[in-house]
Amino acid sequence: MARDDEEEKDDDDDATTTTTVIFRDLTAENKEDLRRLNQIIFPVRYTDKFYEDCARAGAATQLAYDKTGRELLGAIACRLEMDPTKNGARLYIMTLGVYAPHRDGRIGSRLLQHALNAASEDAFIHDVYLHVQTNNIQAIEFYERFGFEQGEVLRNYYKRIDPPDAVVLRRDLGASWTRADPPGVTFERNFAA
């Protein structure tokens, strides 16, 4: 079974424009849109359990569509986990990806900002974490701009990609996170096609 590997694919660091988008929760009606995005962007094939876990994460998992609502531009897929002390929960970012032609519209930044907002509104969730391939400096720097800190390096974490090592990035959701609504986003809750 494939691991829930994470890789950030959003080159929006120097974007001067903000693409107007519609965020939608993951539903049975749009699950295949997320599956297609993941198949194109990531070197891992995810099982149905991956998508079930994403749906259980509620509003933290979001799909970003163009302003007409017809074209998927990007998505963030998360799951909830018990923290190691069993005194709360953690949000794990499994994937964050934006199709290449749309990577200059700050879509990835707004997806991440929204996921952090959603997690911070749940008092049971203490932190957010993810794994990034050790040579993906751009992704590491992207997450560091959102207050993530590098932790341990896991050797041979990835099974079919090189290098196989991953760094754990973690962000506490305590007083240091300031909620801000992502600009240029319209939310459609429980959208059905």
Residue 131 among the catalytic residues: yes
**Is 73 within 8 Å of 21 (Cβ atoms)?**
yes
Unique residue bearing structure tokens 């998927």: 72
Reading the block at residue 77, the tokens are 């897929």
Q: Rounded to whole angstroms, how far apart are CA atoms 17 and 159?
A: 37
φ, ψ at 158 (rounded to 5°): -90, 140
From the candidates 92, 129, 157, 158, which is the catalytic residue?
A: 92
Active site residue 126: no
Long-range contacts of 118-122 (CB under 8 A, 24+ apart): 118/58, 118/59, 118/60, 119/60, 119/78, 119/91, 119/173, 120/173, 120/177, 120/179, 121/179, 122/89
Q: What angle do CA 117, 123, 125 make, to 5 degrees?
A: 70
User: Of the residues 102, 114, 129, 131, which is catalytic?
Assistant: 131
Q: Are strands 185-188 and 21-25 parallel, antiparallel or unpaired?
A: parallel
Q: Which amino acid is at 61?
A: T
Tell me which residues are annotated as active site: 92, 131
